[in-house]
Structure 1
């Protein structure tokens, strides 16, 4: 059972599943980065993989191609996304509706746990990372991408200029993510910046709606029409360009002697 906000997140992404990939340029790049790190980290010896937040299957299909013999469990909080991911028939795996913060597994199960742009929706990111890292077999790795503090800085600035608070959630900085990983056995984090292709407030809002990222941060409300028009005008006047700051992290459990 998921709480009210997570149910809204599930519903929003489920509603966007059919057209998600049309709008998902940064998401496609983030998934490729996660897969590239994973295949360099563990090119073979992979028997079981868990994917957290599979969406429509951008990363899922890459996993299937790179480790065709592995058992794959692909999960998402939105059943609509799982249906879309499974519909193409290009992935031989098990699809499971799951809150990534509450995986129904115990003990060392997986050689790889992969996730791309799902962790930013978690309520308690440090606890979730610790919980997932605890599911790794010796030598296994958790590899993920998530949103960083620098994402949508222009949109946030336009809100501030109008005396409004943005609904964009409070993403961690790279330093904050590194601090979360500091106590892990073998971990690192780095960042990549991806510019959004569109220009202007309408393009930004169309992108966010297209991927289903429309649920505001905890305790925040969507703007009314008049306030939204003011913010859109301020954003466009400032250049109307924005970026994704992608944070990528890896945690590897020590191999047994």
Structure 2
């Protein structure tokens, strides 16, 4: 895993933590759907729940309200985002700064593992899904949303029309995610599209900066001001709006699977 890149991602989201909620319309929608899917999957209020990439707490607060009696572990790569989610006493649980694709837990530990729009920052999505699914108890489920290949297609097209390449990370297609999940006996994936009425290139850039999504593909240099102006002009001429394609996935471990015993975390988590 690229530790330098992960630190840049943590810093970028930390810098956006204070004003993230003002720019995060699609993030709210995706988190709400993950919570709905989780409730359909597990209606009782018992057990342990792990959240990966809590951000400012959209999903965190929703899940706490639905399962107030659960043992809740909330994590994020950014300590500043984590602190924001924990602010105000609205959520009770254990808060941990943790890279979601390198969890500190081992063995069958959780009944639900939930995440909304964090997995796109993983270096190895397929490997991360396998590691997280390995933390499920029999009958437990991993539910997540992540960015799909169809996101920001007009912004990418504006770069291409200007003879340039966009710095947006390479997201998987729906078929690609389904292929990753095909190894599991009980899994599915689907997608939803959320409009991003950003009112022009300046609005799109403000949105991305506002949520902290400003770390480009590895090795890509920023556009020169002249090239950026060209891209912005093409984007505005094309309507000045874009979309999020959000992929949703679920992996459930068979309730009949033989339990090997619940392993404790490799280090004891503590509340900040």
Distance, in Å, in 2 between the alignment partners of 1:62 and 1:166 is 34
Task: Tell me the equivalent position of 2:5.
Answer: 5
Q: Is 1:147–2:147 an aligned residue pair? A: yes
RMSD of aligned alpha carbons? 1.1
Residues matched between the structures, number: 257
1:46–1:222 CA distance, 2 compared to 1 (3 A) = farther
Task: Tell me the equivalent position of 2:203.
Answer: 203
**Contact 1:2/1:99 (<8 A) preserved:** no
Task: Tell me the equivalent position of 1:58.
Answer: 58
1:168-222 Cα offsets, whole Å, 9 max, x none, are: 0000000000000001120000000000122210110000000000000122222
Distance, in Å, in 2 between the alignment partners of 1:46 and 1:180 is 29
TM, length-normalised to structure 2: 0.93
Equivalent residues in 2 for 1:72-151, closer than 5 Å:
72-151=72-151
**Contact 2:45/2:69 (<8 A) preserved:** no
1:58–1:228 CA distance, 2 compared to 1 (3 A) = same
Task: Tell me the equivalent position of 1:226.
Answer: 226
Distance, in Å, in 1 between the alignment partners of 2:219 and 2:63 is 36
Task: Tell me the equivalent position of 2:31.
Answer: 31
Distance, in Å, in 2 between the alignment partners of 1:200 and 1:83 is 33
**Contact 1:112/1:141 (<8 A) preserved:** yes
SS of corresponding position for 2:18: helix
Equivalent residues in 2 for 1:174-213, closer than 5 Å:
174-213=174-213
Task: Tell me the equivalent position of 2:165.
Answer: 165
Unpaired segments ≥5 residues, structure 1: none
Distance, in Å, in 2 between the alignment partners of 1:82 and 1:45 is 24
Larger displacement relative to structure 2 (52-61 or 213-222): 213-222
* Large movers: runs of 4+ above 6 Å: none
Unpaired segments ≥5 residues, structure 2: 258-272
1:73-131 Cα offsets, whole Å, 9 max, x none, are: 00000000011111121000111000011000110000000000000000000000000
**Contact 2:2/2:123 (<8 A) preserved:** no
Shift of 1:256: 2.1
SS of corresponding position for 1:88: helix
**Contact 2:48/2:109 (<8 A) preserved:** yes
Distance, in Å, in 2 between the alignment partners of 1:160 and 1:144 is 31
TM, length-normalised to structure 1: 0.98
Distance, in Å, in 2 between the alignment partners of 1:2 and 1:44 is 38
Task: Tell me the equivalent position of 1:214.
Answer: 214
**Contact 1:177/1:189 (<8 A) preserved:** yes
Shift of 1:45: 5.3
